[in-house]
Structure 1
């Protein structure tokens, strides 16, 4: 029984492996393919997926394909196109290949998720940051892929053959083979609720924020407070004040907290560095020593994973930022068991620490506090 359950979950690390799993899952699907994505690039990775979908329609004419795309960036691209008279080179949704695919394939139902308001803040309130694939829902052989990766070549590792030391974006995906209800995916369903938590098995559940609220933050803080021994966090962004305070507090209770963030952190470098400063700075009130370590991963991390007591694994799309918790719709998978996916995640995190440099309060890289404040406004 345990062996059977083990085969139902799998941790996939980095885009090369994830892309293989996606293409194979498309090939094996029998009834439905549902995709929810935040950002798509018009590059080789997406064209491989598009070609696989096209071939599947040829091989299986009765297959149904549903694609949900967060509309915010597409609307921005369209506005930019009208202003500048050219489209961004990586906007797949106004490219000819995509428009031809939608027009010619009657099996495909494509939906932009947005409120229809012209006000920018309404877009922000309805942004769907989830990344998810669901194959053959409501069958005994259904599969769901939950992750933090967008569809893009920039995730490839190593990305540039002429610069082998410049790696792509490090990230994770989890594949669950289970009979999964369509309620997990449906956009119509998400209109009716603010927060969704589905317990698939006694050791596995899926949590989703469906309206603008703070419930994922509360769930994560609840998990952090359950820690007895140690917490390992590997995240792209770490700027949420409540999470920082809780981690700092729990590290003073002799629970070991280890945090891995990227040295190359795109446009949030200053915000991340200031968060490190706040974590490592001694508390003026609580004088107890902190059991807290911070590591800078030498390449880019886009991961969103938390491992607690080598037992609870949290993997998904939610960043540790105010915007992610209060504005965006997110999806995370939670696993509670010591083996299988948790063991694989622990081994990978240990490898990542070896590829990282531990920093102290005295060795925090230089950053600008004003830039940190400005960057935090947008995440």
Structure 2
């Protein structure tokens, strides 16, 4: 009896430890505060892997802090892995906006001097810069990962899908101060959990990666392989018994849409939250809503058991909650590009408390800031523009 009590006491202590070492980060202000604090506290290493790094106030703040850290701590190593194609995109955006938009920070004088003047910095562009072969080489990395003091007791990982940029904080409409910018999430992992995550990421090769870092956390990464995140996400969705909540920036993948409609026929309640304000894909999202909600002709015009909601502002999130017990969060959008072209990193949290519970609470709050959409009130959109936009996501 005493042995059993000791076993369960140790197990409870481990559960409490793991709970205290994971944290859901919601929106820009909290994310940048966590990142700044981690940079200040870092002692041995900082590793940043990002898809985009625009020359704006937010990213300049991060760059200035990194430069201060390199000067004050001569022993620290800083690794920056920056997607090369999106640097090209940002520079093109600056040109066509007549310098209204900032370009890639490492194309600016400030960024180039940062790379040139810091010996303990290891900087690399990753992926293809080719506009012609970008979609065929499939080498570009859409992940967003911050690692601090890897392989130490102070190790921290802040991971998944948030870009740090001014647009995340910018009000959608300055006349209404109660609104905000891009809604998004990250997850913070500490010590042993962070070390297990970073050890798998550092071994990231051109293969499919699926690793359990704990009994309740599984890392999924897709890299030029027939096996994709699409099939893994679909497998998890098919396991649903009661409910599915999806909050995503884009949903344009036809197979995902068809399978969600099929799953809904099993009387599983599905809620989908999409942004009413989107970054250049408004028409594609609206057309996806129509395809999700349209009646099924082969089953006597039965409308799928799916509820679609438009969030009042901008969403950049990529999250799913299944049966209030499993959450899938990461960098992958529900689009062809994320599944078939870009390298992505997602995770499955098989734990109804902690991250999943916090995420579910936030999703329920988000639903209060949504309008329910039916076939009768889908906002007007252009089908031709929808097809064009879908091609680029």
Length-normalised TM-score, structure 2: 0.89
- After superposition, where does 1:256-267 map in structure 2 within 5 Å? 256-267=269-280
Count of aligned residue pairs for this structure pair: 376
Contact (CA 8 Å) 1:305, 1:315: kept in 2 or not? yes
Contiguous gaps of at least 5 residues in structure 2 = 1-12
- For the structure 1 residues 86 and 277, does the alpha-carbon distance in structure 2 shift closer, same or farther, using more than 3 Å as the test? closer
Q: Aligned partners of 1:227 and 1:210: how far apart in 2?
A: 27
Helix, strand or coil: the match of 1:231? strand
Matched, 1:28 2:44: no
* Superposition map of 1:354-365 within 5 A: 354-365=368-379
> For the Cα contact (< 8 Å) 2:247–2:273, is it kept in 1?
yes
User: Quick one: distance in 2 between partners of 1:365 and 1:88?
Assistant: 29
Contact 1:214 1:326 in 2 (8 A): no
Q: Which residue of 1 aligns with 2:111?
A: 98
Alignment of 1:240-279 (within 5 A): 240-279=253-292
Compute the displacement of 1:90 (Å): 3.1
Q: How many Å separate the matches in 2 of 1:345 and 1:56?
A: 33
Distance apart, 1:93 and its partner CA: 1.3
Aligned-pair CA distance for 1:180: 2.6
CA distance in 2, matches of 1:369, 1:357: 22
- 1:21-74, CA deviations, whole angstroms, 9 ceiling, x for partnerless residues? 111111121211111000112111111111221222233211111000110022
Specify the SS of the correspondent of 1:30.
coil
8 A contact 1:209–1:331 mirrored in 2: yes
2:379 is aligned with 1:341: no
TM-score (norm 1): 0.93
From 281, 298, 312, give the equivalent of 2:294: 281
Of 57, 66, 69, 1:44 maps to 57
Secondary structure in structure 2 of the residue aligned to 1:222:
helix
When residues 118 and 317 of structure 1 are mapped into structure 2, their CA distance, relative to the original with a 3 A threshold, is: closer
Instruction: Give the match for residue 196 of structure 2.
Output: 180
Unaligned runs of 5+ in 1: none
Q: Distance in 2 between matches of 1:176 and 1:341?
A: 11
Determine which of 167, 183, 208 is the counterpart of 1:170. 183
Change (3 A) 1:109 1:87: farther
Q: 1:84 to 1:247 in 2, by over 3 A?
A: closer
CA distance in 2, matches of 1:255, 1:310: 13
| Contact kept in structure 2, 1:259 and 1:293, CA below 8 Å | yes
* C-alpha RMSD of matched pairs (Å): 2.4
Q: Segments of 4+ in structure 1 off by > 6 A? A: 79-87
Q: How does 1:196-207 map to 2 (within 5 A)?
A: 196-207=209-220
